[in-house]
A and B are shown apart, each in its own frame.
Chain A
Amino acid sequence: MKAPAFSYMRAESVEHALELLSRHGDAAKILSGGQSLLPALNLRLAAPAILIDIGRLDELRGIDLRDNVVTIGALTRHVDLLASEEILSSLPLLRQAAAHVAHPAIRNRGTIGGNLAHADPASEFPACMLALDARMVIRREDGERRVDARDFFRGIYETALEPCELLVAIEIPRPQSGSRTYFHEFVRRSGDYAMTGLAALAHLDGAQFADLRLSYFAIGDRPYLARATSHLVGVAITGERIAEAQAALDAELDPPDDQQASAAMRRHFARLLLSRCVANVLERPELAMEAVT
């Protein structure tokens, strides 16, 4: 279908965008790359009266590493993340994830800020933000605030952003050296939204986990940090421990049934991702076999 009619305004600066947002509030939507918003408009899932185009605000673009914090401008595109040496060396999880976000033509226009503000529960980046303990930098006309990823995602397409606010950057603490990452998603076609996926960050202490953050997506109305990892931290990992963690994971999840996958299928994927992640991070492939569910 075609998008409904709307008025179009091109912001000349961040201040201008904030002024337009504060003037038009709920009636307006921010347009950055448009790779989530335009499908929503074309499918008539959204019908804002006004689009405020921030796509040309170069001040919102770029990746900067300072004092062990990586700051990513909201207009940084997926293709920029894939090409960035800083991301590769500091946040490999984000690079792994970016390769799974849609297709090359979409990655050339889609922006990380647009992706996060859209908050699709099946999207890769929100789960990465949770795994990496990122902070969203949010501006409004009268100031700036920071919101942790765990408080930012509030539900399907819902975030902590107020109508007058703009997500301008994401701050991600650089994981300590020696940390390990794992990313995998189950999809019907490469680049499609996941049926279930996992973004993980682990810190090892010898052969054990000192910390393990398993952030699932397409498993509920927002990315989800599994509590079941408490069964795996600070203990010797065996097939039995993994089975315990899988059972605990199963008990805490409440996945939806929809046209993408049944709840039972998602539970199966989630358990499988847990064992594969642990086996992969510990470099003990036999663990994934022992723990097959």
Chain B
Amino acid sequence: MTTARIALMVNGEKISAEVPARLNLADFVRDQLGLTGTHVGCEHGVCGACTMRVNGEIIRSCLTLAVQADGCAVETIEGLSDSGEIADLQAAFRERNALQCGYCTPGMLITAQDLLLKHADPERTEIREHLSGNYCRCTGYHAIVDAVERTAKARQRRP
């Protein structure tokens, strides 16, 4: 079959769609669902701009076919943003100027949140390592690492 019917959850909403087999998950959410917060950069897994969460784990949506996400729970930057889950991280990015053009930012936020969920108090080297698969061509990374570190510290102070 060159097309397939898939049923999945996207940001908590049930979605059913007919998709071409070759369609990747990034293009599916962008073009068929209108969720354009997921960015498409290199399309071969190098840049990290298309990072999403599938069943709670971060993945490259340019290296995942939409048919492979059949039956899965997909979360995009819109989901993480609208739920307020990463509001503090987003604020820290803004305050610390951790973005300029913003192209990499959705992927950076999702990847950074993934680290913070696993590791409440990461070292700067651990932040850099976890973000190593996400390219930013504006900031030089320093401000991004600062923002993630600041968010980790602030969350730890939270009761």
Interface residues in chain A, defined as those with a beta carbon under 8 Å from any beta carbon in chain B: 1-10, 31, 34-35, 38-39, 41-43, 51, 53, 55, 79, 102-106, 108-109, 189-191
Contact = CB atoms under 8 A, between A and B. Distances in A.
Chain B binding site: helix, strand, loop or mixed by DSSP?
mixed
A108 B2 contact: no
B150 interface: no
B60 A189 contact: no
A102 B59 contact: no
Nearest to B132: A190
Interface string B59-75: 11011110110000000
Nearest to B50: A105
Given A7-B21, A9-B1, A103 B64 contact: no
B111 to A, nearest CB: 7
B78 interface: no
A103 B59 CA distance: 10
Centre residue among B45, B48, B128, B132 by max chain A CB count within 10 A = B45
Interface in B107-157: 111, 114, 128-130, 132-134
Closest 6 pairs between A and B when the two form their complex, measured CB to CB: A103-B133, A8-B21, A39-B44, A190-B132, A38-B63, A108-B57
B56 to A, nearest CB: 10
B4 interface: yes
Nearest to B63: A38
Contacts of A191: 132-133
Contact of A109 (B44, B63, B67, B130): B63
Q: How large is the interface on B (under 10, 10 to 19, 20 to 34, 35 or more residues)?
A: 20 to 34
Contacts, number: 92
8 contacts: A6-B2, A34-B63, A35-B60, A79-B57, A104-B58, A104-B111, A105-B48, A189-B132
Contacts of B88: none
A42 B24 CA distance: 10
A66 B21 CA distance: 40
A223 B1 CA distance: 37
Interface in B63-99: 63-65, 67-68
Contacts of B59: 105, 108-109
Given A8-B1, A38-B45, A104 B130 contact: yes
Contacts of A108: 57-59
Contact of B24 (A3, A7, A31, A43): A3
Contacts of A79: 57
B33 to A, nearest CB: 18
B111 A105 contact: yes
Contacts of A8: 1-2, 4, 21, 65, 67
Contacts of A31: 65, 68
A143 B48 CA distance: 41
Contact of B60 (A3, A51, A106): A106
B114 A104 contact: yes
B22 A34 contact: no
Given A38-B24, A103-B133, 13 more contacts: A3-B22, A7-B21, A34-B63, A35-B60, A38-B44, A38-B65, A39-B44, A39-B45, A42-B62, A42-B63, A104-B114, A105-B59, A109-B60
Contact of A5 (B21, B60, B133): B21
Contact of B65 (A5, A34, A43): A34
A5 B20 CA distance: 8
